Structure 1
Amino acid sequence: MADWNAGQYLKFEDERTRPSIDLLRRVPLEATTDCVDIGCGPGNSTELIVKRYPTARILGLDNSPDMLSKARKRLPNLQFEEADIATWQTEERFDLIFANAVLQWLPGHRNLLRRLVSYLKNGGCLAVQMPNNLHEPSHRLMEQVAQEGPWAAKLSSAAKSKEAIGSFEDYYAWLQQAGCTVDIWQTTYVHPLASAEAIVEWFKSTGLKPYLDLLSPEEHSEYLRRYTAAIAAAYPAQQDGRVLLRFPRLFFVAQRL
């Protein structure tokens, strides 16, 4: 995919940061010395870790130069590095590995989690949040518009770019097998947004990106026109004119024994 657009992502910064706040609240560590925020994006989640653990050494990792540029401006005293989490290897051991809205883009979660847990100190925590919305209208309609348009062949692989989320039982078993205690839960956030167009703007920087990156400018405009019409039908306006975006997210905090 083309590089991520940090500015587009941050249009909904408050809503996108809420899951990070909720995840960090469930981390049981009173103090830490070494933390890493993998898939740190523009630094909004990293900033929360700094406030929670102000004396810790905190590292931010992301594969997007644009996201890292925003993170460095936001937190100039922290270390940020470009890295692909799918292949990231380290000799370091951390008290906290924080992964907000990143692992859903990566395959092979069983082996991935085992590898990440191996980078924890004894007693350290792996804290993860992943969108679990592939069955929501927002995502079903992305695929429907892709399949029904003249770009169907071109977009046939786009839906596979986001890894299907496992079950509670999957993650509980995999993390226990990796030697962890597990706190796992799911929250459905309900975001009142200004319009159907606002929902489209939300997903331009995330779920829609694998589709839009493959389209010509003319196809891009037509795809968004059809998708916006479908979203307007699926998310009717409320009495105040706003629309309600349902957004399920899966969380877990695994503590290495």
Structure 2
Amino acid sequence: MWDPATYLDHASLRARPFHDLLARVAARAPRRVVDLGCGPGTLTGILARRWPDAVVEAIDSAPEMVAAARARGIDARAGDVSEWRPGSDTDVVVCNAVLQWVPRHDRLLEDWMAALPSGAWLAVQVPANFDAPSHRIVRELAAEPRWAEDLAGVLRGEDAVHGPEGYATLLADAGCEVDAWSTTYLQRLDGPDPVLDWITGTALRPVRAVLDDARWESFRAELAPRLREAYPQRPDGTTWFPFRRVFVVARQV
């Protein structure tokens, strides 16, 4: 399950890549705009305000996120991103921080682009920090004997996403105009265990899903000092957390 409140603990930092992604989409008057993986709907409203004449379609696989989005007035519905296909009037598809959860999403991107009408836009952003200490330390702990049986195959590896060139090549080969890039955001986090708090809302979800309450708290207790060592606190009580993300914007020609 997703916890919308935990996810929104760092709402402004999580929103920044969405704005940077959307800035490269030059659609003028789309008929339908789709937010795939809309989460709690906090960013979906931006799409409606930018394109007020478009039908905005919001989809998320987590019922608790759909409920949170609807509570904000977003007409969201539950759906599996891997099963979604664009309609003939879909002119913009935004998929922000979603495809890292979808294994083998290359084929999915190809299928979407093949189905989109001429001139349509696809905008994708994925976190690309699976080789960072924040994720590597989690995998190392999960592989230790105390946790290995419960957590075998639960966590994603460094191959969960491509780099910019990988996505650019995939979509250029599909006949699209492509703009791809990566950005490392140097995030300044507060609190005694800020990196642990950050990944609790995202990367640690699969761990939480398979552990009972007691073992979950034990896992976090073992993880916390390792993350504090990897990401030391500054004298002012804040912590630098570099976070790399990959972006790709493609236009169907």
Q: TM-score, normalised by structure 1?
A: 0.93
Aligned to 2:176: 180
Residues 1:126 and 2:122 are matched in the alignment: yes
Name the aligned partner's letter for residue 141 of structure 2.
Answer: V
1:59 partner SS: strand
Name the aligned partner's letter for residue 40 of structure 2.
Answer: P
Question: Which range moves more in the overlay, 159-168 or 220-229?
Answer: 159-168
**Cα distance, 1:162 vs. partner?**
8.6
Name the aligned partner's letter for residue 232 of structure 1.
Answer: R
Unaligned runs of 5+ in 2: none
**Cα distance, 1:196 vs. partner?**
4.7
Aligned to 1:63: 61
Query: For residues 90 and 22 of structure 1, what CA distance do their matches in structure 2 show?
Result: 23
Query: For residues 156 and 163 of structure 2, what CA distance do their matches in structure 1 show?
Result: 18
* 1:209-228 superposed matches below 5 A: 209-228=205-224
Change (3 A) 1:63 1:50: same
Aligned to 1:164: 160
Query: For residues 86 and 234 of structure 2, what CA distance do their matches in structure 1 show?
Result: 49
Aligned to 1:35: 33
**Cα distance, 1:245 vs. partner?**
1.0
| Residue in structure 2 matching 1:54, options 52, 55, 79 | 52
Query: For residues 70 and 88 of structure 2, what CA distance do their matches in structure 1 show?
Result: 22
Query: For residues 209 and 27 of structure 2, what CA distance do their matches in structure 1 show?
Result: 40
Residues 1:155 and 2:151 are matched in the alignment: yes
Name the aligned partner's letter for residue 30 of structure 1.
Answer: R
Runs of at least 4 residues off by over 3 Å: 89-93, 160-163
Name the aligned partner's letter for residue 10 of structure 1.
Answer: L
Query: For residues 192 and 118 of structure 2, what CA distance do their matches in structure 1 show?
Result: 47
Describe the superposition over 1:53-83 as per-residue Cα deviations: whole angstroms up to 9, x where unpaired. 1221100000111111111121x2x431111
Change (3 A) 1:90 1:128: closer
**Cα distance, 1:35 vs. partner?**
0.5
Question: Which range moves more in the overlay, 20-29 or 195-204?
Answer: 195-204
Q: How many aligned residue pairs are there?
A: 253
Aligned to 1:115: 111
| Residue in structure 1 matching 2:195, options 183, 195, 199 | 199
Unaligned runs of 5+ in 1: none
Change (3 A) 1:91 1:47: closer
Say what the alpha-carbon RMSD is for the aligned residues: 1.6
Change (3 A) 1:90 1:255: closer
**Cα distance, 1:149 vs. partner?**
4.9
Describe the superposition over 1:17-61 as per-residue Cα deviations: whole angstroms up to 9, x where unpaired. 111011111111122221000001011221211121122110000
Equivalent pair of 2:2/2:62 in contact (CA under 8 Å): yes
